[in-house]
Structure 1
Amino acid sequence: MSSTRNSGKRISRLLGIATTVALGGALLAPAAHADSPGAPLTVAVSDVTHHAMNRGSGTNSFVLTVTNTTGTTQPFAGNALVWPNGSGPSPIEVGQIHTEVTPVSAPATDLAVEGQMPGLIAAFFPHGGNRLTSSFQIPAGADYSWKITVGAAADFPGNDDGLDVEISSAQVHFDIGPALPDGHVTEKFDHAATVTPRKPGETTLTLSNGAGGKFTSPLRTRIYLDSAVPGLKLQYRSGGKWVPATTVEDGSLWMLPEIPAGFAYRQTHSFPLRFTLEGQPAGPRDVSVYAQLILGDALSGTNAQTTLHLTSAAKPTSTPTSAPSSAPASAPAPAPSAAVKTSGSQGATSGSSTPDTQLAHTGSSHTGLLAGLAGLLAATGAFLVFTVNRRRRSA
């Protein structure tokens, strides 16, 4: 038997596995699913022990059977994709799912579990082999079967209420109580902004939790542009002051403070933002501004977009006089300053469950952030988009 509690931190993705998998459909009836006719290997599940599980107690299992329908030996790579229900709001971390793979009528088996946003991938392969290159060799006309066991750890995300397991074309769904309302998380900028070297541009980013349940880990948000702007800075308002956002890439990528764990259903959190520009731009142009939520070690599909208008500051002009005057010339009017909101301008979380609170800025809050984000960007490669719509399934 190969088993793991999946302890430790999230590690690199398994190469060669698709990053997006469509999950859906009702729980499969025993032996109800098989691959398309004529496929060399057919995959079916049976003996599902339960349709529901609880965090921190009990496990569920099913039997996976792979049949070779041909007259020659066929390879089979065992990869179990484990996702939160319907790509739920919070990704699953390594350590939040207990996984076992036990051969029933198959050779001795090893198991390796790794992070695969937004869930996990449990790779099972011949004992002593390599998880990336080793596969089972199923003889002509034979079938191999394994018992797959999963369980939700006590720290399974509080706003995910289900688990989808997919192996090849076979899918199994388990409910995790309590059942939560349907919904999704949204981010939105309230309007576009215009910035010049003399006048900052302001907008507000609002995050709303309509996904049900509460987030049991902090939420981070990054702000990025579709093209870099030299001399562009970003600030957020906290404690009545404008505070510089953490710069990851000059003029194109910044991190906002964390929203603490406990961000609950129907709560909202707002970040008043201000862009400033040092030096004249090459010319007037528009750039797209994006916000993206980061949950744990994974980029979510929650995105917001607005436009930042870049314009040059008007150069002051003077009109010469034909004769000296005894009266002093009027001083030029000062450039308008950025308006400071006096209400609702604090980075704050609000909702029916808790009073409004303010994000405090501390220097230590960014310790290790750049290193963590660098690892995140290396793991994701590009801005990944996936929908966080919740789906209910009946037990």
Structure 2
Amino acid sequence: MSARSVAARRLRAVAATSVVTAVAGAAFVPAATAATAAVAADEAGGHALRMTLGAPTPTGPLERGGATESMLLTVANSSDEAQDFSAWLPGTPDGPSPVLKDSIVFDVTAVDAPATKSAVGRQDGSFQGLFFPATGNAASTFSIPAKTAYTWKVTLGLGASYPTNDGDFTLTAGRLIGDTDDDPSRNTQVFKIDPAITPGKLNVAWEQKTGAVARPGQRAELVLNATATGPGEFPAELRRTVSAQQFRDGAGHPDFVLEAEVDGKVVKLTESNDSEWELPAVPKGFGAASGTRSIKLYLSLGAKSDIRRDTVVPLEAVFSMADSWGFNGAGTQVKAGPAPATGSPSASPSAPASPSPSGSAPVTPSASASGTAATTGGTTGGTDGGTVAGTTDGTNVTGSLAATGSGGGLYGALAAVLLAVGGAATWFATRRRRTTGV
């Protein structure tokens, strides 16, 4: 299961919207006529409504902070009754970085339709455009009369802060409410970006020592690595959240303790939520030239732990940036168990390794378990305020689950949730886990 899908189940909706101002675009002639609706009746494949997103004009690549392009969005009602309708236009950059709230210029205005407002919603790091009747709000719907077509002008451009490590931008129009034929092959436009790039990836992976077990007073050592490839860099700092919230090995409280090596010292991390910890952020400007960003972590159990047998603890690392959440991450499993029974050999706490001398060779991790991606080993770049990259004592490490890229598809489980609650009111928000772990 990807870090994105795990995070999406646990994130808490927080109202946050930003209305986008109108932007000038190319002129269009009204095209909403009964004839358009009649044609749609033959083409809608049994649906009452048919949506079509036209080609953008003027043609040509978009530049950061440059001119916008516009296209016609037409929804034709071929039925004999008025039909309720609402839509969204999610967008996805080709590259590792989520887009910031001011990275995209977006506007929707009526051509042959009721007065319209537009806005941008934020969800899990993705851009999601919305338009709705000017007399209502983000949860309002249009009522399209029988045998009638409504037409809007959709305008899109790049803000000056569009990430330099992202390439082309894909916009798709899809229905939220209404019996609508919204075939993506007819409702998707790819906007080329100038200058053109071949985007890289953000690779996130875990390393851990073979045989390490977390117990009361005994640490299991792990390393969380992040490496960027390709041109450009991230336009804001990358926050890293580690959690063990999927641990369900019986009732009770495991009393997890997570420590990190910072500035050559091992410090206990404060829980931001139950079994959840915030790591030091990766600074703004992280890119391929930064090398591997690594942080050494130690998991153990506190004195109040009620784990009674050896088991495994699923750990998840989730990366977020600015007003996005959970756009990348990786998971692993750590062995954990109770303190040894009385009479058995005592387990002395494992001391953290000392930082590597400058110029020491990094340790290459062994191949990961079947079905998992190999992790990065050692470091070729900076550290987090003095944290140590890779392993430092020559001990072999094992790989673990890794993740790359910017995460899932456009819709996922989100669309079903929106329909269940009645549309855009819940969608029109930034989700970020902060006070609840469920």
TM-score normalised to structure 2 length = 0.65
Aligned residue in 1 for 2:422: none
Aligned residue in 1 for 2:97: 90
Summarize the alignment of residues 169-180 of structure 1 with structure 2, pairs less than 5 Å apart: 169=182, 170-180=187-197
Summarize the alignment of residues 297-336 of structure 1 with structure 2, pairs less than 5 Å apart: 297-314=323-340, 317=343, 335=348
Aligned residue in 2 for 1:143: 149
Aligned residue in 2 for 1:152: 158
- Residue 122 of structure 2 aligns with an amino acid whose one-letter code is G
Root mean square deviation of aligned Cα: 3.4
- Answering whether residue 259 of structure 2 is matched by residue 235 of structure 1, we say yes
Q: 259, 264, 267: which is aligned to 2:282?
A: 259
Distance 1:124 1:180 in 2: 31
Distance 2:437 2:352 in 1: 38
Aligned residue in 1 for 2:372: none
CA offset at residue 11 of structure 1? 6.5
- Structure 2 counterpart SS, 1:56: coil
Distance 2:238 2:256 in 1: 25
Distance 1:381 1:47 in 2: 43
Aligned residue in 2 for 1:340: 353
CA 1:207–1:334 in structure 2 vs 1: closer, same or farther (change >3 Å)?
A: closer
Q: 96, 99, 107: which is aligned to 2:106?
A: 99
CA 1:316–1:92 in structure 2 vs 1: closer, same or farther (change >3 Å)?
A: same
- Structure 2 counterpart SS, 1:104: strand
- Structure 1 counterpart SS, 2:351: coil
Distance 1:82 1:343 in 2: 44
- Answering whether residue 79 of structure 2 is matched by residue 70 of structure 1, we say yes
* Preserved contact between residue 246 and residue 256 of structure 1 (Cα < 8 Å): no
Distance 2:156 2:127 in 1: 12
Give per-residue Cα distances to partners, 1:285-335, cap 9 Å, x unaligned: 2211121111223333533222222233335649xxxxxxxxxxxxx9983
* Unmatched segments (≥5 aa) in structure 2: 1-12, 18-35, 175-181, 359-377, 388-429
Distance 1:152 1:356 in 2: 31
CA offset at residue 212 of structure 1? 4.3
CA 1:121–1:307 in structure 2 vs 1: closer, same or farther (change >3 Å)?
A: closer
* Preserved contact between residue 316 and residue 329 of structure 2 (Cα < 8 Å): yes
- Answering whether residue 45 of structure 2 is matched by residue 42 of structure 1, we say no
The total of aligned residue pairs comes to 322
| Greater RCO (Cα-Cα under 8 Å, separation 6 or more) | 2
- Structure 2 counterpart SS, 1:82: strand
Give per-residue Cα distances to partners, 1:138-164, cap 9 Å, x unaligned: 222221111111111111222221222
* Unmatched segments (≥5 aa) in structure 1: 1-9, 15-30, 319-331, 362-373, 383-395
Distance 2:232 2:164 in 1: 6
Distance 1:117 1:123 in 2: 16
Give per-residue Cα distances to partners, 1:184-230, cap 9 Å, x unaligned: 22211112631222321111111121364211111111111122753
* Preserved contact between residue 236 and residue 245 of structure 1 (Cα < 8 Å): yes
Aligned residue in 2 for 1:245: 269
CA offset at residue 357 of structure 1? 4.3
- The higher radius of gyration belongs to 1
TM-score normalised to structure 1 length = 0.71
Distance 1:381 1:311 in 2: 23
